[in-house]
């Protein structure tokens, strides 16, 4: 091994082609060759379009036709319009839904990671909704919630009478909950499978040792399972929260954002495509990105604080 | 060792090369998403062009300029050679073979012109994207572009003066005296109803005012099991269809929507005589408030409503005449489907607004050969294909025959909207976008809001109109458009 100083002296003596043929040069060359593919793809398909969108957010423009630079006006509008930030309130429903979704997933994952009869079958059934296309799910639930259709019929079998049942999509006090229900149904299976994977990696001897010490199932969960799956848990929470800020498919397909179900994304879509205010919609997208950044950082800090004990 | 090095280098260089191709491709692909499809066509095009040049060198001098629509004599061009591409939205007609049949009939007269067609499902949005890439073919239906941009994309068919002597409804896409679009069919704006339901409810005379209409809806509710007025709330665009009655129908003024509307300070004021925009949406509000619509409006389904109207489970639906044929096809009792003028009478006359549907247009960047062939094709489609009649459309050709469904329109005054004043062509689009009310331009949510407000009692109709007026006035101020009363 040559010292860095040595290498530098030698590098100065070598010409570029010589250096290229040397071991160091080859290393750099191969590294560049392999790196450049993903980097170019990333730039072309992610960062350049993103930069374009940020640029659009400063213009008053349609898809076709002339563009006018308006500075921060679009951003001021995002914050001053009632519908833009009002729509973010709906995210609270989806966040509430993600709490239900994660606890359900964690609960079922814990049960299924122990020996259960027909465990794989259950896992399969519960994971299945995640495999269906989101648009198809929208259409399924549109009919599911239609007055007197699937959901009402099932509830009538259980003894409810149709007159006492609410209109699942018409009644503004529950229509958002109905929509959140569809997204919980779709995603909890996926969360569950991720949790099961993490729980599987826990060493079995730990349970035996805990049992010998007289720990019950709940204590095992609290002191063994939860700390071991911390990383996956935090990841799932972050994904769910940013997912609820950007909820789109259920309200778009099932209600088209009407009747007070228009989430931030649906409103953005309307502004971009119906009103053709592309600049304003781009500004909304940038603002949402910043919100998601902030929320994610806050979550990170929060979990750092919560799991401090277990790390120590 | 050496072999390995050589191998590594070759690999690396191969990768960098493939990358160069990779890096170059996206920037080129951007302008033409359907480039591959286009290439084939381009190849055929050049082949056709070469043949053309060889055959028609003598005619070339005459043909260098494409004749205008009214100058074009179809009988003289039977041997024209070209391959043109037609981008359209009639996916249903492409599937059931109507389009192919029409092109086959066209080719018996013009065997040298090959027409390739592409049907696009989400036409309103996709066509705009295709238009911005510039790679879409030779003929399309004009999507929602600003009138001032028309000449950048399309070639004018003729002057408005010449064209309007032969055809109806050609002023939709007029700019600077030239017409850039010709409608493939025209719609008259009325109301769909089921004749049997009206008979069962004891309605002998068609309603002529909003108040009479609401009384009739009440009769239908009391005497039959049918849903008096089906809103089709969930589909969205079906609610936006209510906007089509603003202007000619609501006040009998064919210059209103394109010229005066943007300058009106209080367009939603109640004129007090059962007319105007105020009473147009009042029908909807009152019908919802009195329970004269479907039980659960949030789960309505567009496809199944057609059969329901046909079978007499629905009394009325407010939609343009284009929907008539679909309602007839959807069930076993097509004879019960009826179409009536909108129940609004202005100064003793019922007015009917008729206007062009989507408009044909020709790519300004196409070659002269293709422009000529496209002109021939459009003229043939408009005048000889009978497409408009078969679709139940109001005739585009002046003096052409109208389908039977318009029988109830006898005695009504049929008008079509006048174009905007010169220099103000973009005002309505600008106002629509700025106020976000989007009249006749996808502003479905504002009409849905009326249904929601009436059903839940959250807002009165006056609250809604006050809000709209506010938005309208703000937009007028923002755009510097004068408002007078």
- A169 CB neighbours in chain B (<8 A) are 296, 298-299
- Interface contact A170-B296, CB threshold 8 A: yes
Under an 8 A CB cutoff, do B12 and A257 touch?
Answer: no
Confidence bin at A309 (pLDDT 50/70/90): low
Nearest to B391 by CA among B379, B399, B380, B402: B402
Cβ neighbors of A226 (< 8 A, separation 6 or more) are A233, A310
B273-295 as b/e: b if 16+ CB within 10 A = ebbbbbbbbbbbbbbbbeebbbe
Render pLDDT for A231-252 as a digit per residue (tens, 0 to 9): 888 888 888 888 888 899 999 9
**What would the two tokens of residue B180 be?**
């850039």
Task: Show residues of chain A in contact with B23, CB under 8 Å.
Answer: 40, 44
**Residue A7: pLDDT over 60:** no
pLDDT over 70 (residue B27): no
- The answer, yes or no, to whether residue B36 has pLDDT greater than 70, is no
Which residue out of B28, B154, B299, B441 would a mutagenesis test of the A interface target, given it has the greatest number of A Cβ atoms within 10 Å? B299
> Which of A37, A145, A169 has the CB atom closest to B15's CB atom?
A37
pLDDT at residue A21 in the model: 85
- Judge whether B305 and B314 are in contact, CB under 8 Å: yes
Nearest-angstrom CA–CA distance, A191 and A106: 8
pLDDT class of B37 with cuts at 50, 70, 90: very low
Does residue B14 belong to the interface with chain A, where contact is any CB pair within 8 Å? no
- Provide the 3-class DSSP secondary structure of residue A307: coil
Pick from B149, B295, B443: which is nearest to A147 by CB? B295
Instruction: Please check whether residue B482 touches A, CB under 8 A.
Output: no
Q: CB B298 to CB A257 under 8 A?
A: no
- Looking at residue B211, its pLDDT comes to 95
Q: Evaluate if residue A296 carries a pLDDT over 70.
A: yes
Judged by CB atoms closer than 8 Å, whether chains meet at A63 and B436 is answered as no
All residues of chain A having their beta carbon less than 8 Å from the beta carbon of residue B444 are: 256, 258, 274
Question: What is the average pLDDT across A273-279?
Answer: 87
Q: Which residues of B touch A172 (CB under 8 A)?
A: 452, 456
How confident is residue A56, by pLDDT bands cut at 50, 70 and 90? very high
CA B193 to chain centroid, in Å, comes to: 22
Q: For B279-317, what is each residue's pLDDT tens digit?
A: 999 999 999 999 999 998 988 888 889 999 999 999 999
Distance between terminal CA atoms of chain A?
40
Q: Which of A101-105, A143-147, B29-33, B312-316 has the lowest mean pLDDT?
A: B29-33
Residues of B in contact with A40 (CB under 8 A): 19, 22-23
Question: B145 and A65: CB-CB below 8 Å?
Answer: yes
Between chain A and chain B, how many beta carbons pairs sit less than 8 Å apart? 98
Which candidate in A259, A268, A270, A280 is best for mutational testing of the B interface (most B CBs within 10 A)? Answer: A259
A36/B131 CB distance under 8 A: no
Q: What is the pLDDT of residue B8?
A: 62
User: Is the pLDDT at B51 greater than 50, yes or no?
Assistant: no
Out of A29, A62, A259, whose CB is closest to B298?
A259
Which chain B residues are closer than 8 Å to A29 by Cβ? Answer: 12
- Distance, CA of B61 to CA of B82 (rounded, Å): 17
Closest residue of B to A255, CA-based? B234
pLDDT tens for B354-386 read: 888 899 999 999 999 999 999 999 999 999 998
- Predicted local confidence at residue A13, as pLDDT: 67
- CB B209, CB A229: distance < 8 Å: no
B132/A64 CB distance under 8 A: yes
Identify the band that residue A11 occupies on the pLDDT scale cut at 50, 70 and 90.
Answer: low
Q: Is B131 on the interface with A (CB under 8 A)?
A: yes
| Nearest chain A residue to B441, by CA | A274
C-alpha dihedral, A160 to A163 to A167 to A172, nearest 10°? -110
Query: Which one has a higher pLDDT value, A152 or B15?
Result: A152
The C-alpha torsion from A191 through A192 and A195 to A196, rounded to 10°, is -150
Higher pLDDT, A242 or A287: A287
B22 to A40: CB separation less than 8 angstroms, yes or no? yes
State the pTM of this model.
0.74
Per residue in B454-471, pLDDT (tens digit) is 999 999 999 999 999 999
Enumerate the residues of chain A whose CB falls inside 8 A of the CB of residue B146: 62, 64-65
pLDDT of residue B406: 86
Whether residues A30 and B452 touch (CB distance < 8 A) is answered with: no
Contacts of A255 in chain B (CB under 8 A): 234, 298
Q: Answer yes or no: is pLDDT of B136 > 60.
A: yes
**Yes or no: is domain A77-311 CATH 1.10.3720.10?**
yes
B 237-266 near A (Cβ less than 8 A): none
Q: Which residues make Cβ contacts (< 8 Å) with residue B418, sequence separation at least 6? A: B171, B254, B255, B258, B259
Q: Mark yes or no for CB contact B26/A30 under 8 Å.
A: no
Whether the per-residue pLDDT at B240 is higher than 70: the answer is: yes
Point out the residue among A26, A257, A259 whose CB comes nearest to the CB of B452. Answer: A259
Task: Please judge whether A275 and B433 are an interchain contact, meaning their C-beta atoms are less than 8 angstroms apart.
Answer: yes
Measure in Å the smallest separation between the Cα of A45 and chain B Cα atoms.
9
Going from the C-alpha of B313 to that of each of A72, B96, B204, B320, B323, the distances in angstroms are 53, 28, 19, 20, 17
Q: How does B68-105 read in b/e, with b if 16+ C-beta sit within 10 Å?
A: bbbebeeeebeebbbbbbbbbbbeebbeeebbeebbee
Stretch B43-58: mean pLDDT: 44
Query: Percent of chain B beyond pLDDT 90?
Result: 52
Instruction: Supply the mean pLDDT for chain B.
Output: 85
> Which residues does chain A have within 8 Å of residue B131's beta carbon, measured at their own beta carbons?
64
Gap from B371 CA to chain A (nearest CA, Å): 23
Q: Which residues of B fall within a CB distance of 8 Å from A26?
A: 5, 8
The alpha-carbon gap from A246 to the nearest alpha carbon of chain B, in Å, equals 21
Q: Considering only A45-59, B36-50, B265-279, B466-480, which range has the smallest mean pLDDT?
A: B36-50
Pairwise CA distance, residues A221 & A230, whole Å: 12
Residues 338-377 of B with CB under 8 A from A: none
- Average pLDDT of chain A? 87
pLDDT of residue A182: 93
- Shortest CB distance from A65 goes to which of B16, B19, B149? B149
Q: Domain locations in chain A?
A: 4-56, 77-311
Residue A299 — very low, low, confident or very high, per pLDDT cuts 50/70/90?
Answer: confident
Burial class (CB in 10 A: 0-12, 13-18, 19+), B8: middle
CB contact under 8 A, B8 and A30: yes
Residue B100 neighbours by CB under 8 Å, 6+ apart = B94
Of A9-23, A222-236, A255-269, B29-43, least confident by mean pLDDT is B29-43
pLDDT score of B44: 45
pLDDT for B9:
58
Domains present along chain B, CATH in parentheses: 62-184+357-405 (3.40.190.10), 188-355+426-479 (3.40.190.10)
- pLDDT, one tens digit per residue, over B388-434 is 888 888 888 888 888 888 888 888 888 888 888 888 888 998 899 88
pLDDT over 70 percentage in chain B: 86
Position B99 pLDDT exceeds 70: yes
Contacts of B129 in chain A (CB under 8 A): 63
């Amino acid at each position: 091994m040559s010292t860095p100083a040595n290498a530098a002296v030698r590098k100065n003596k070598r010409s570029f082609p010589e250096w290229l043929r040397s071991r160091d040069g080859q290393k750099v060359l191969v590294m560049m060759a392999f790196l450049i593919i993903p980097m170019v793809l990333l730039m072309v398909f992610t960062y350049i379009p993103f930069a374009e969108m940020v640029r659009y957010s400063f213009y008053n423009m349609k898809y076709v036709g002339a563009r006018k630079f308006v500075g921060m006006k679009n951003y001021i509008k995002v914050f001053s319009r009632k519908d833009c930030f009002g729509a973010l309130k709906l995210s609270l429903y989806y966040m509430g839904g993600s709490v239900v979704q994660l606890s359900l997933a964690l609960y079922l994952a814990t049960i299924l990671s122990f020996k259960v009869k027909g465990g794989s079958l259950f896992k399969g059934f519960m994971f299945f909704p995640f495999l269906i296309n989101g648009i198809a799910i929208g259409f399924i639930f549109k009919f599911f919630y239609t007055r007197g259709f699937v959901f009402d019929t099932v509830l009538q079998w259980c003894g409810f009478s149709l007159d006492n049942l609410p209109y699942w999509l018409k009644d503004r006090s529950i229509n958002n909950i109905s929509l959140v229900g569809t997204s919980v149904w779709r995603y909890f299976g996926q969360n569950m499978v991720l949790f099961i994977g993490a729980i599987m990696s826990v060493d079995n001897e730990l349970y035996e040792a805990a049992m010998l010490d007289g720990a019950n199932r709940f204590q095992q969960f609290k002191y063994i399972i939860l700390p071991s799956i911390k990383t996956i848990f935090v990841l799932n929470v972050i994904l769910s929260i940013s997912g609820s800020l950007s909820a789109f498919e259920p309200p778009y397909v099932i209600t088209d954002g009407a009747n007070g179900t228009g989430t931030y994304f649906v409103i953005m879509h309307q502004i971009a495509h119906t009103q053709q205010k592309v600049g304003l919609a781009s500004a909304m997208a940038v603002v949402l990105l910043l919100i998601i950044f902030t929320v994610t950082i806050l979550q990170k800090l929060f979990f750092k604080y919560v799991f401090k004990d277990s790390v120590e | 060792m050496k072999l390995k090095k050589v191998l590594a280098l070759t690999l690396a260089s191969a990768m960098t090369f493939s990358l160069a191709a990779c890096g170059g491709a996206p920037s080129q692909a951007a302008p033409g998403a359907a480039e591959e499809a286009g290439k084939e066509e381009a190849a055929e095009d050049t082949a056709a062009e070469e043949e053309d040049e060889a055959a028609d060198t003598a005619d070339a001098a005459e043909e260098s300029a494409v004749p205008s629509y009214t100058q074009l004599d179809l009988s003289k061009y039977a041997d024209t050679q070209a391959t043109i591409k037609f981008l359209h939205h009639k996916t249903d007609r492409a599937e059931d073979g109507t389009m192919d049949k029409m092109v086959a009939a066209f080719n018996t007269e013009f065997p040298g012109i090959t027409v390739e067609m592409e049907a696009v499902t989400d036409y309103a949005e996709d066509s705009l994207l295709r238009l911005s890439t510039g790679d879409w073919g030779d003929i399309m239906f004009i999507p929602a572009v600003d009138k001032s941009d028309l000449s950048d994309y399309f070639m004018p068919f003729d002057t408005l003066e010449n064209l309007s002597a032969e055809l109806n409804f050609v002023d939709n896409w007029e700019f600077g005296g030239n017409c850039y679009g010709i409608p493939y069919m025209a719609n008259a704006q009325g109301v769909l109803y089921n004749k049997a339901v009206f008979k069962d409810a004891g309605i002998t005379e068609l309603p002529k005012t909003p108040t009479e209409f609401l009384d009739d809806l009440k009769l239908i509710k009391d005497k039959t099991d049918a849903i008096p007025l089906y809103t089709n709330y969930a589909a969205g665009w079906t609610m936006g269809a209510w906007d089509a009655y603003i202007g000619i129908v609501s006040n009998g003024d064919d210059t209103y929507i394109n010229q005066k509307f943007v300058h009106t300070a209080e367009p939603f004021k109640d004129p007090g005589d059962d007319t105007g925009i105020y009473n147009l949406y009042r029908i909807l509000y009152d019908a919802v408030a009195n329970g004269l619509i479907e039980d659960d409006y949030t789960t309505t389904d567009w496809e199944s409503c057609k059969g329901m109207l046909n079978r007499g489970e629905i009394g009325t639906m407010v939609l343009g005449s284009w929907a008539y044929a679909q309602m007839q096809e959807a069930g076993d009792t097509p004879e019960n489907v009826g179409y009536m003028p909108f129940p609004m009478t202005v100064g003793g006359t019922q007015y009917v607004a008729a206007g062009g549907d989507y408009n044909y247009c020709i790519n300004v960047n196409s070659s002269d050969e293709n422009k000529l062939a496209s002109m021939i094709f459009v003229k043939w489609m408009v005048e000889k294909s009978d497409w408009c009649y078969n679709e139940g459309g109001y005739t585009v050709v002046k003096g052409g025959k109208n389908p039977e469904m318009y029988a109830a329109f006898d005695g009504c005054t049929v008008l079509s909207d006048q174009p905007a004043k010169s220099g103000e062509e973009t005002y309505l689009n600008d106002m629509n976008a700025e106020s976000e009310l989007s009249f006749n331009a996808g502003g479905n949510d504002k009409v849905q809001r009326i249904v929601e407000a009436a059903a839940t009692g959250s807002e009165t109709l006056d609250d809604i109109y006050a809000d709209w007026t506010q938005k309208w006035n703000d937009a007028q101020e923002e755009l510097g458009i004068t408002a007078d009363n």
